[in-house]
Amino acid sequence: MTALTEAQAPLAKTFGEPILTVENVCLTFGGVTALDNVSFEIREHEIRAIIGPNGAGKSSMLNVINGFYHPSSGSITYKGVTRSRMRPHQAASQGIARTFQNIALFRGMSTLDNIMTGRLLKMKRGLLWQALHWGPARAEELEHREFVEHVIDFLEIQSIRKTPVGTLPYGLQKRVELGRALAAEPDLLLLDEPMAGMNVEEKEDMCRFILDVNEEFGTTIALIEHDMGVVMDISDRVAVLDYGRKIADGTPDEVRSNQAVIDAYLGVAHDEDDAHDESRPG
């Protein structure tokens, strides 16, 4: 932003303690090693990117964090608790929300209703109360609706509030999905390729929303992306995976100048011997 000179620079960004630590995680599917001894940490309030070429193990990493996959070895510590096996719904109730690479919304439902589903875990009243839609259940719904309206306002999707999401363009569906994740008031937000398949304008919008979420609510964000340009612009720290291994970790500038990263992305030919020595997992 050209408008911010050094004299008027915004307050420096501060990060807290690690909210999530991944240590020596391995994940195998039969003979295939998807993650090989990966370690990194995500600190509070930061935007942490995990990048890598296709098939590098990015989505697997996210699914491990999310509790969808269970690592074959290694440990994951979230909010100070090291867990062995966790189910996705447990992850959700502990403040981890996510979006998906392939949009997973209820296509026939409106934007508003889809985002309301993000509040599900916050609802206290049981099925019967909700079905009656009366008394305390009604009051509760109004409260949640108010929160959802703030999310809608934040993401600037007022005009599609009542539109069935199935009829929306792709970029907007992605935004609705982000809205649903935000409605859960997450401590850690996982974004699986939030810019995939978007045009330049949609990408710019999405970048701005990710930055705004981080800035306004202090939400910690971990995002996976293969579009390097986007990631380098918005992330605080970047971990690079290639063939299931972490090959670099650091600030965008450090990662950008890292030879291993350049090679992985540009596909520089390694010597035959090298390839054998590294005995890369497939």
Partner 1 sequence: MSERGATLAAGDSFPKLLISNAKFRGARSAMREKEFGIWQTWTWAEVLDEVRALACGLAAAGLKRGDKLAIIGDNRPQLYWSMVAAQAIGAVPVPMYQDSMTKELAFVLAHAEARFAMVEDQEQVDKLLEIREIREKAGEPSVEKIIYKDQRGMRNYGQSFMQSIADLQAAGRAYDAEHPEFFDTEVAKGGGGDLAIMLYTSGTTGEPKGVMLSNDNIIITARNTAELDGLCDSDETVAYLPMAWVGDNVFSLGQSYVAGFCVSCPESTTTVMADIREIGPTFFFAPPRIFENILTQVMIRMEDASWIKRKMFKAFMSLARRVGPAILDGKPVALLDRLGYAVGRVLVYGPLMNTLGFSRIRLAYTAGEAIGPDIFDFYRSLGMNLKQLYGMTEGSVFVTAQPDGEVKTDTVGKPSPGVDIKIAESGEVVFRSPGVFLEYYKNPQATAEVKTADGWYSTGDAGFFDSDGHLKIIDRAKDVGKLNDGTLFAPKYLENKLKFFPHIREAVAYGDQRDEAVAFICIDLEAVGSWAERRGITYGSYRELAADPRVYDLIESEVAEVNRDLAKDAQLAGSQIHRFLILHKELDADDGELTRTRKVRRSFVADKYGVLIEALYSGASHAEIETEVTYEDGRKGSMKADLVIAQAATSTTPAPMKLAS
Of the two residues 133 and 145, which places its CB atom closer to partner 1 in the complex? 145
Q: Which pairing describes strands 245-250 and 73-78: parallel, antiparallel, or unpaired?
A: unpaired
Alpha-carbon distance of 161 to 115, in angstroms, equals 10
5 binds partner 1 (CB under 8 A): yes
Binning the chain into helix, strand and coil, the percentages to the nearest 5 are 40, 25, 35
3 binds partner 1 (CB under 8 A): yes
| Binding residue (CB under 8 A) for partner 1 from 6, 10, 269, 272 | 10
Counting contacts by CB under 8 A, is residue 143 touching partner 1? no
Are the CB atoms for 175 and 155 separated by under 8 Å? yes
Q: Is 266 an interacting residue with respect to partner 1 (CB under 8 A)?
A: no
Residues sharing a CB contact under 8 Å with residue 224, sequence separation 6 or more, in sequence order: 49, 50, 51, 58, 59, 61, 62, 101, 191, 192, 193
Gyration radius of the chain over CA positions: 20
> Tokens standing for 194?
């939030």
Residue 90 interacts with partner 1 (CB under 8 A): yes or no: no
- For residue 166, the SS3 value is helix
Instruction: Decide whether 78 or 209 has the Cβ nearer to partner 1.
Output: 209
Q: Which of 80, 84, 127, 216 binds partner 1 (CB under 8 A)?
A: 216
How near is the Cβ of 144 to partner 1 at its closest, in Å?
13
Pick the stretch among 154-162, 230-238, 240-248, 257-265 that binds partner 1 (CB under 8 A): 154-162
Asked if 215 interacts with partner 1 (CB under 8 A), we say: yes
Cβ-count burial 29-38 (b if 16+ within 10 Å, e if not) = eeeebbbbeb
Q: How many angstroms separate the Cα of 205 from the Cα of each of 64, 191, 199, 238?
A: 28, 15, 10, 21
Tell the smallest beta-carbon distance from residue 276 to partner 1 (Å). Answer: 50
Length in residues, the chain: 282
Stretch that binds partner 1, among 2-10, 64-72, 114-122, 263-271 (CB under 8 A): 2-10
Q: C-beta of 64: minimal distance to partner 1 in Å?
A: 33
153 interacts with partner 1 by CB under 8 A: yes
Binder to partner 1 among 17, 212, 274, 278 (CB under 8 A)?
Answer: 212
CA atoms of 131 and 126, how far apart (whole Å): 9
For position 2 contacting partner 1 by CB under 8 A, the verdict is yes
> What x/- string results for residues 155 through 174 when contact with partner 1 is judged by CB under 8 A?
-x-xx-x-------------
Stretch that binds partner 1, among 1-9, 119-127, 188-196, 235-243 (CB under 8 A): 1-9
Which residues make up the interface to partner 1 (CB under 8 A)?
Answer: 1-5, 8, 10-11, 145-146, 149-150, 152-154, 156, 158-159, 161, 212, 215-216
